[in-house]
Amino acid sequence: MKNLNENLHPTSQAEFDFDSNLAPIQPNNLLPYDGCVEYLGKILTPKCADEYFNQLFEDICWQHDQAMIFGRCIQTKRKVAWYGNQQYSYTYSGIEKKAMLWTPVLLELKTIVEAQCAEQFNSCLLNLYHDGSEGMAWHSDGEKDLKPQGTIASLSLGASRRFLFKHKVSHEKIEIQLMHGSLLLMKGCTQSHWLHHLPTTKRNLDARINLTFRNIVKNVPSQFN
């Protein structure tokens, strides 16, 4: 299994305040084939990242996630929240969710992320991991509601965590450490060929918030048409 943090371009490890005039980072593709994953490193200073983490932790309408497993509705320890331009419906793990409208803080972060990756997003799924005992099983974000081969931008706030990719056929694994205030981009056909996973750990870790900006293409409820 490859650990890619030590091979990152030095520029992507720099810490800086967000500035739309900064020269664009040119990260390498972390995947050897069948997709594109780019790690831009820290796009927020520690102070700025701390402030965003605290605001999101307190102000977001967090709810325990649910999943249908063998016909049973299971509630996870991890909490989630779903926001967007409109009240989009989004189905994953057999459960349909309705988006809430953007908060001012989420709109700020959306603008920052969009400037970094030259993309525009209409929704965001947030995950709150209270400690290292909470993680995410192997999966890919290939739901029919998502834009085909669309970019998913993942912003990490809080505790640094291991993050793994595994090829669906060869089972080759790639590992990276997601740092506080860092941005990861999953592009193109990545979801078709690779699974990703946030492993749990027995280490005593602080909370982590992950924001995954994406695009929903499914029709919104009729009152918004």
Tokens of 199: 């492993």
- 170 is in which domain, residue-wise? 2-9+26-219
Report if residue 169 sits inside a domain.
Answer: yes
Walk along the chain (225 residues) and give the pLDDT tens digit of each residue.
777 665 554 333 333 344 443 334 568 999 999 999 999 999 999 999 999 999 999 999 999 876 666 667 777 789 999 999 998 887 766 677 789 999 999 999 999 999 999 999 999 999 999 999 999 999 988 777 888 889 999 999 999 999 999 999 999 999 999 999 999 999 999 999 999 999 999 999 999 999 999 999 865 443 433
The total number of structural domains in the chain stands at: 1
Would you say residue 17 lies in a domain?
Answer: no
pTM of the model: 0.84
Does residue 84 form part of some domain?
yes
Question: Helix (H, G, I), strand (E, B), or coil: what is residue 14?
Answer: coil
Q: Which alpha helices (DSSP H) does the chain contain, by range? A: 46-59, 104-117, 190-193
Is 19 inside any structural domain?
no
Residue 225 lies in a domain: no
Q: Does some domain include residue 130?
A: yes
Q: How many residues does the chain have?
A: 225
Examine residue 39 and state whether it is found in any structural domain, yes or no.
yes
Report the pLDDT value the prediction gives residue 11, as an integer from 0 to 100.
33
Can you give the CATH number for the domain in which 114 is found? 2.60.120.590
The β-bridge relationship of strands 173-178 and 2-3 is: parallel
The answer as to whether 21 is a domain residue is no
